């Protein structure tokens, strides 16, 4: 099996070099006060291109696949039993993630999948995925889901989903899922646009950090008494991973 190639990184490096040559020429024109309006527009376009390249996604492969762990027993398969119900935790949910750690062949392909089990009145608490957009479909039960936009508006987009419904959560935005049924469980399948999406559970990160954030900082941030913060920090925070 051939070694993994850097793919898009080579392309981006070459494009940066070409853009830098053009920018140097245009900057010389500006300094000599010979730049035309069209040259200034071109300079602005080049700056936009450089900004776009700097924010580009992970490199794409230059070969059919690029296995992350050559010593794995099976590069492209996992007997994950995603059809099997899971025991739920303190927040009455369970997340079974299949990412590049479980299937090394996912490396460079920018995708993961997860099964999420919700007990009656269970939830996947407010959290974010710093490296992935998520699309979720309900395969059993009912879910109340939503995400919150960034500052300053903090708008909530929410929906009650039934079996077969689909909802998406933008990358990096706080989102959640809740099973409102007090008698029936729910199950969802989520696909994420990263081989390693990461997760930050908001309550855990704020009140369960190690070492803890100063209670004075949190008391002012949440506009409550320090005693309330101390009580919250003393709780055991369930960390839903995926």
CB proximity list for 116: less than 8 A, separation 6 or greater: 93, 94, 95, 96, 124, 136, 177, 187, 188, 189, 190, 242
Would you state the structure tokens that stand for residue 215, as one six-digit string?
């209670």
Q: What is the rounded CA–CA span in Å between residue 118 and residue 193?
A: 23
CA pseudo-torsion sign 131, 195, 166, 141: negative
Q: What is the rounded CA–CA span in Å between residue 2 and residue 91?
A: 45
CA pseudo-torsion sign 113, 6, 130, 193: negative
Which H/E stretch holds residue 14? helix 8-31
The verdict on whether residue 175 carries a ligand-binding annotation is: yes
Q: What is the rounded CA–CA span in Å between residue 108 and residue 195?
A: 7
The verdict on whether residue 129 carries a ligand-binding annotation is: yes
The verdict on whether residue 238 carries a ligand-binding annotation is: no
Would you state the structure tokens that stand for residue 84, as one six-digit string?
């099997």
**Cα–Cα distance list, 94 to 117, 142, 180, 219, 239 (Å):** 5, 16, 16, 31, 10
The verdict on whether residue 71 carries a ligand-binding annotation is: no
Q: Strands across the sheet with 200-201, in order?
A: 156-161, 143-148, 174-178, 123-128, 200-201
**Cα–Cα distance list, 200 to 128, 176, 234 (Å):** 5, 12, 19
The verdict on whether residue 241 carries a ligand-binding annotation is: no
Binding-site sequence positions? 124, 127, 129, 134, 175
Binding-site sequence positions for Mn(2+)? 127, 129, 134, 175
Binding-site sequence positions for oxalate? 124, 129, 134
């Amino acid at each position: 099996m051939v070694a993994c190639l850097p793919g898009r990184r080579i392309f981006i490096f070459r494009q940066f070099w070409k853009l830098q040559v053009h920018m140097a020429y245009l900057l010389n024109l500006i300094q000599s006060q010979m730049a035309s309006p069209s040259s200034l527009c071109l300079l602005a376009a080049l700056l936009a291109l450089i900004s776009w390249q700097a924010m580009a996604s992970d490199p794409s492969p230059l070969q059919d696949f690029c296995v992350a762990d050559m010593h794995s027993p099976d590069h492209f398969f996992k007997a994950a039993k995603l059809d099997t119900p899971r025991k739920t935790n303190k927040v009455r949910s369970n997340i079974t993630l299949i990412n590049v750690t479980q299937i090394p062949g996912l490396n460079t392909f920018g995708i993961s999948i997860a099964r999420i089990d919700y007990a009656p009145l269970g939830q996947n608490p407010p959290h974010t995925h710093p490296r992935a957009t998520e699309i979720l479909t309900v395969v059993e039960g009912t879910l109340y889901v939503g995400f919150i936009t960034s500052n300053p508006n903090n708008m909530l987009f929410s929906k009650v989903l039934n079996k077969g419904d689909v909802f998406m959560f933008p990358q990096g935005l706080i989102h959640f899922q809740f099973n409102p049924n007090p008698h029936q469980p729910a199950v969802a399948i989520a696909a994420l646009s990263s081989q390693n999406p990461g997760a930050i559970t908001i309550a855990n990160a704020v009140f369960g950090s190690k070492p803890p954030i100063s209670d004075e900082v949190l008391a002012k941030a949440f506009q409550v008494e320090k005693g309330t913060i101390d009580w919250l920090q003393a709780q055991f925070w369930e960390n839903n991973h995926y």
